[in-house]
Structure 1
Amino acid sequence: MTTTPQAPLSSWPADLSAFCFEVPHSDESLLFESGKGVRLSDAAGRSYLDALSGVFVTCFGYDCEPIVRAVTDQLRTLPFNPPLHGTNRSALELARALVDLAPPGITAAKLVNGGSESVEAAVRLARLYHRSHGNPGKVKVLSYYHGYHGATFGSLSLTGRPDVTRFGPGLPGIVHVWPPDCLEAFWDVPKEESGALAAAMIERTIEAEGPDSVAALVMEPVIHLRGMAIPSADYLTRVREVCDRHGVLLVFDEIVTGFGRTGQPFAAQTFGVTPDILCVGKGISGGYAPLAAVLMAEHIAAVLGDAGGPVSFAPSHTYAANPLASAAGLAAVTLFREGGYPDRIRELSAYTEPRLRDVVGERGTLRAVGLLYGVKLAGGDERIGERVASACLRRGLIIRGQDDWVVLAPAFVTTTAEADEIVRVLGEALDEVCGAGR
């Protein structure tokens, strides 16, 4: 077992009282100083191999020169533009690049600052669409129990997890439904039956609520906070059919799965189902600027402007479509399309997946699609995921662990040697927490 000490407290500033941390400060909290390739260094000089791409963000690593150059050039030319009076060339070109990358039928892109904004914009857009078609009563939005859609109040309301109730009641009109993975885990429904049953339950829910009251279904194609739960092959197709039967818009939250993570530009293409609205973020800028987008089908965009002409959707945000973030996104999308990354992702996935499957063995179930991996750990320990992630961190490997699962999302630029290191260290952590064995 190879472990290295945590960064000493002396590496932190003496007074931390002014800073509000994202998660509670602990002995495992790190003060990062620099990054290169897929590795980070902290204030104590310790190195970490990042097997999570930050948090599904740094697809091209921490020193991607084309993106750095694009942002630097934009900063010197036009760092900001008055958003009430116009836009900038990088934003226009990025919108076109995203639409070209998306499934056929997607025709417009609204640029925003982050995933939560993207999801909230999708909900507003869905309600506006129905109002524009003479159905102002279609305002309810369905989403998953145990899904996750963001941290602003509207997106948090869509997040069907009990730990968000501490903020009080969410927005009215949100109705939660059960995804296939929960049917399997809670009621022992066989996986080959869970997709059909979950889709049927969604249809029954729409009928019970009243189809004339339901605007949209917002869902993650792969559910992050269920340990990367991947649906059966027919599930999303069935859901698409249910939504079409009842005039309900289908919204894919691809903040995690989008931008190449599943092996194709979007999970919509991986699973062969095109939503009406597609929310994307995280890796869209490679982590070099806050950026997300709402991609919309032609019939959705049609309510925002004249046919074939420019569209507009307000209210917006001060920094939405700003030049710096747009330049980073345009550089990232261009690099993804022209740098051979779809093939590179498939090759690295084909190399890494069987090695992960072997090292996990009977200690859990590996869920894999592209460079997105979840391990559902065996044993019934409700905190085993955190313990495995902590054991990895002590060994200088960054993954995420929660409940009874861990997830990994290596950067697209990860080498096979680094993939081997990820597998080896994960194996050591599993040996420590779960016991040796395959």
Structure 2
Amino acid sequence: MTTTRPAPLSSWPSDLSAFCFEVPHSEESLLFESGKGVRLSDAAGRSYLDALSGVFVTCFGYDCEPIVRAVTDQLRTLPFNPPLHGTNRAALELAQGLVDLAPAGITAAKLVNGGSESVEAAIRLARLHHRSRGNPGKVKILSYYHGYHGATFGSLTLTGRPDVTRFGPGLPGVVHVWPPDCLEAFWDVPAEQSGALAAAMIERTIEAEGPDSVAALVIEPVIHLRGMAIPSADYLARVREVCDRHGVLLVFDEIVTGFGRTGRPFAAQTFGVTPDILCVGKGISGGYAPLAAVLMAEHIAEGLGEKGGPVSFAPSHTYAANPLASAAGLAAVTLFREGGYLDRIRELSAYTEPRLRAVAGDRGTVRAVGLLYGIKLAGGGERLGERVASACLRRGLIIRGQDDWVVLAPAFVTTTTEVDEIVGVLGEALDEVCGAGR
């Protein structure tokens, strides 16, 4: 692939004053016009190979006809329903489809609009669960330092990163704990010991705060903003035991890891640990509509209605369980379940991982689970990850980079030829920023 440049600012509309960008506008900001397969085109007609699935979202690519058809049919039939008076068939079927994919014991699904909202709902659900059982004082939420849980007020508080403190004090009652990866990086704890120590520190934190005051622990099974930090085999099982000992609900934020990304429907199944509450999003609709969900175990759901009957959880949002989003999600779940995608993910992962390790060489450590990849870059240098990602973008490849890492998440429909192209461009970018490797 030849080196290319993002669309020049002259290709943008002359007046940008009305639009508030998600990230600061720069010379690298792109005005996307179209997408097909795993490629995007910008306003200047340049093509980009998307090795990030948008942002862990477009797992079926940008022109998935079954999902497009389902949304189109729903748009013509019922684009919206009065949410105070009922729901729609697509939402009912999607909820059942998600529960069928989830680990055994998960029995109910609350549909919401995005990952942040899913995490917010999990916080409310955890507090409500304890209150309904006569423990109204169990309100504190534990989460990781250096994790990420969203952009709304409560989910941002759980995020535990110094770059979010500019918004002032966060949600009261949030306490942060250290994940294994941080123990390894900041205090040189050996990897084989970090899981046991991190789990023990979580237990000491619960005891110090008072078990009667702690409602839930919310964690990412794989930590995206640590360069896809993957826990040791026994860590999550230890955390499950700690939570059970102290009556603390375990919540997995699987916004990134869910929906097949780790090689199983959810990371909970990949790591063999079932949480009480599971937050899912991103790939759940394949990127064809804003959609997320909160999945809950039976002992959580039974407090929301008569045992064995319908459950309800309010207040909710106007567009929650929207017919269009539900139709997109149902089509994506059906395609995932019936289209042989778990086998495809495993095959594509087996092809991709060794090639990424080879191209990284001694320039970085590859972390891989399913079709989630992080490369922890070696050596110093300011904004190393951002510079590598920028070098990729100039060559027409979309990945993400920050601090000392880059991450990739190819779509499930990526071909081996496209994987070779991804690896080749990444190698050129690493050569430019990090020098030739071995």
Structure 1 position 437, deviation (Å): 1.7
Structure 1 position 127, deviation (Å): 0.2
Moved more, 383-392 or 2-11: 2-11
Cα deviation 1:246-298 (Å, max 9, x = unaligned): 00000000000000000000000000000000000000000000000000000
Cα deviation 1:385-419 (Å, max 9, x = unaligned): 00000000000000000000000000000000000
Distance 1:134 1:6 in 2: 58
Distance 1:4 1:410 in 2: 21
Cα deviation 1:26-64 (Å, max 9, x = unaligned): 000000000000000000000000000000000000000
Distance 1:162 1:30 in 2: 28
| TM-score, normalised via structure 1 length | 1.00
Does residue 3 in structure 1 map to residue 3 in structure 2?
A: yes
Name 1:408's counterpart in structure 2: 408
Does residue 119 in structure 1 map to residue 119 in structure 2?
A: yes
Cα deviation 1:148-191 (Å, max 9, x = unaligned): 00000010010100000000000110000000000000000000
Name 1:37's counterpart in structure 2: 37
Distance 1:28 1:304 in 2: 48
Name 1:130's counterpart in structure 2: 130
Name 1:150's counterpart in structure 2: 150
Where 2:137 maps in the other structure, the secondary structure is coil
Where 1:90 maps in the other structure, the secondary structure is helix
Structure 1 position 9, deviation (Å): 1.7
Where 1:242 maps in the other structure, the secondary structure is helix
Distance 1:5 1:406 in 2: 20
Structure 1 position 5, deviation (Å): 2.6
Where 1:375 maps in the other structure, the secondary structure is strand
Structure 1 position 381, deviation (Å): 2.4
Name 2:220's counterpart in structure 1: 220
Name 1:50's counterpart in structure 2: 50
Distance 2:31 2:321 in 1: 30
The answer to whether the Cα contact below 8 Å between 2:5 and 2:396 also exists between their aligned partners in 1 is no
Name 1:93's counterpart in structure 2: 93
| TM-score, normalised via structure 2 length | 1.00
Distance 2:278 2:46 in 1: 39
Change (3 A) 1:286 1:252: same
Where 2:10 maps in the other structure, the secondary structure is helix
Distance 2:223 2:10 in 1: 39
Distance 1:383 1:80 in 2: 45
Change (3 A) 1:285 1:277: same
Structure 1 position 4, deviation (Å): 1.3
Distance 1:251 1:429 in 2: 37
The answer to whether the Cα contact below 8 Å between 2:143 and 2:160 also exists between their aligned partners in 1 is yes
The answer to whether the Cα contact below 8 Å between 2:35 and 2:63 also exists between their aligned partners in 1 is yes
Name 1:314's counterpart in structure 2: 314
Distance 2:9 2:122 in 1: 43
Structure 1 position 332, deviation (Å): 0.1
Name 2:354's counterpart in structure 1: 354
Distance 2:166 2:194 in 1: 31
Unpaired stretches in structure 2, ≥5 consecutive residues: none
Cα deviation 1:68-126 (Å, max 9, x = unaligned): 00000000000000000000000000000000000000000000000000000000000
Structure 1 position 325, deviation (Å): 0.1
Distance 1:58 1:437 in 2: 32
Where 1:85 maps in the other structure, the secondary structure is coil
Distance 2:329 2:242 in 1: 34
Structure 1 position 318, deviation (Å): 0.1
Structure 1 position 321, deviation (Å): 0.1
Where 1:216 maps in the other structure, the secondary structure is strand
Distance 1:373 1:382 in 2: 22
Structure 1 position 8, deviation (Å): 1.9
Distance 1:171 1:414 in 2: 40
Distance 1:364 1:370 in 2: 19
Distance 1:6 1:249 in 2: 46
Where 2:24 maps in the other structure, the secondary structure is coil
Name 1:334's counterpart in structure 2: 334
Structure 1 position 2, deviation (Å): 3.1
Cα deviation 1:317-366 (Å, max 9, x = unaligned): 00000000000000000000000000000000000000000000100100
Where 1:295 maps in the other structure, the secondary structure is strand
Where 1:413 maps in the other structure, the secondary structure is coil
Where 2:356 maps in the other structure, the secondary structure is helix
The answer to whether the Cα contact below 8 Å between 2:389 and 2:399 also exists between their aligned partners in 1 is yes
